[in-house]
Amino acid sequence: MAGSDENAEIARTVLAEVANMPVGGLPDPAAVTRRVRRRRRVRAAAIGGASAAVVVVTVSVAMAIGNAGGSGHGTNARRPDGPVTSQGSATPGLASIACGRPFTVKYLARGPANVRIEASGVHDAGGAAAMPDVDVLVSADQAVQISGSPYQLGIQVVIVRDGVTVDRIGGADRPEDATSSPGQYSGSGALARVWPVAPGSPHAERISRSRWTACPGVDWASINASPERYQLVVLMPTPTVFGPTGPLAGPADTIIGKAVALGAVPKS
C-alpha cells in the first residue's frame, strides 16, 4: 500500500509540474522521484524502480494531453546495458556527489543507441590558479536525437583524487552540500533541448564553473601543476533518445560517464 501511495504522489507531482510548464517542457523523472521520496522519508531499502517507471508513464500521458511535441517516450523504452565503471557503493545521483567525500557514483560506459560522453579538451578560464572549462563530446553509433530538459541533459564534470571528490564543474542539479542556491531550481521548467548526433558528428558542450556546484577552497594551481594525479570524470543522466523512425529509449534513472586522467586531456 505504501508503494501505491508513493506512486500516486509522484504522479500528482508530475502532472502539476507539467501544467505549469511551457509547451515542450519536461520534468525530470529522477528528480521528481527524489523530491517525493525525500518528502515521504522512505527508507532507502524500501525504494524500488516502480516509482521511476510511474513517472515516465505519467510524463508521457501528460505530454500527450498537453500536446507537447518532440519529447515523448516510446513503448520500447528500456534501460541501457553496459558495465558499471566506477568503484564503491552506488549513490542516488549527481546531487549526492559531495566535496571532500568519497566518489561512489556508479555509471554506465554507454547509454541507449550506444550514446556515450567524453572530455575532449581543457581550457584555462582565468589563469593557472582558476578552475578550467571542459569541452565534452556526446557521441553515438547511429544517427539519433538526444532530447531532454536542461536538467536532464545537465553534464557534470568531477575532479577526483585517490577516490575522493576534489571539485565539481558545471551540472544542472543543486548538490546536497551546496552553500549557495541557483536563481531557479535546476532549469526543469525550461523548454526541452534537442542534440542531433551521428557517427563522426558528435554534439559538443563546453562545461564551465557553476557557483552552486564548485567546491570551496580548491587549490587549482596545485591541480594544474600535477594533473596526472587527478581523474576527470564526465557524467550525464541517461537521456531520451530518438531514432529516425521514433523513440529508441526514454530517460532512465541511471548515469552515463567516462573517467580519464586529467593530464591526458588536451589542454589549451
pLDDT in tens, 146-179: 998 877 788 999 999 999 999 999 986 667 776 6
Q: Residue 176: what pLDDT? A: 73
Q: Judge if 58 and 184 occupy the same domain.
A: no
Distance CA(58)–CA(46), nearest Å, equals 22
Q: Tell me whether residue 74 is in a domain.
A: no
127 vs 68 pLDDT, higher one: 127
pLDDT class for 252, splitting at 50, 70, 90? Answer: confident
Q: Judge if 60 and 101 occupy the same domain.
A: no
Span of 113-122, 130-139, 171-180, 224-233 with lowest mean pLDDT: 171-180
Helix, strand, coil shares of the chain as percentages rounded to 5? Answer: 25, 25, 45
pLDDT tens, position by position, 76-111: 333 333 333 444 333 447 888 999 999 999 999 999
Distance CA(263)–CA(115), nearest Å, equals 25
pLDDT tens, position by position, 4-51: 566 666 666 655 665 555 545 566 666 667 676 766 653 343 334 334
pLDDT tens, position by position, 188-220: 445 678 999 999 999 999 999 988 899 999 999
Q: Judge if 243 and 157 occupy the same domain.
A: yes
Q: Residue 38: what pLDDT? A: 66
Q: Judge if 141 and 229 occupy the same domain.
A: yes
Q: Judge if 65 and 184 occupy the same domain.
A: no
Q: Residue 51: what pLDDT? A: 42
Distance CA(7)–CA(1), nearest Å, equals 10
90, 6, 93, 82: which is closest to 41 by C-alpha? 6
Q: Judge if 246 and 203 occupy the same domain.
A: yes
Q: Judge if 28 and 112 occupy the same domain.
A: no
121 burial class (0-12, 13-18, 19+ CB within 10 angstroms)? middle
113, 118, 91, 43: which is closest to 253 by C-alpha? 91
Distance CA(263)–CA(268), nearest Å, equals 12
Q: Tell me whether residue 61 is in a domain.
A: yes
* Residue numbers of the domain that contains 2: 1-69
DSSP class of 11: H
Residue 258 has pLDDT above 60, yes or no: yes
Q: Tell me whether residue 75 is in a domain.
A: no
Picking from 45, 69, 93, the residue at the C-terminal end of a domain is: 69
Q: Judge if 95 and 208 occupy the same domain.
A: yes
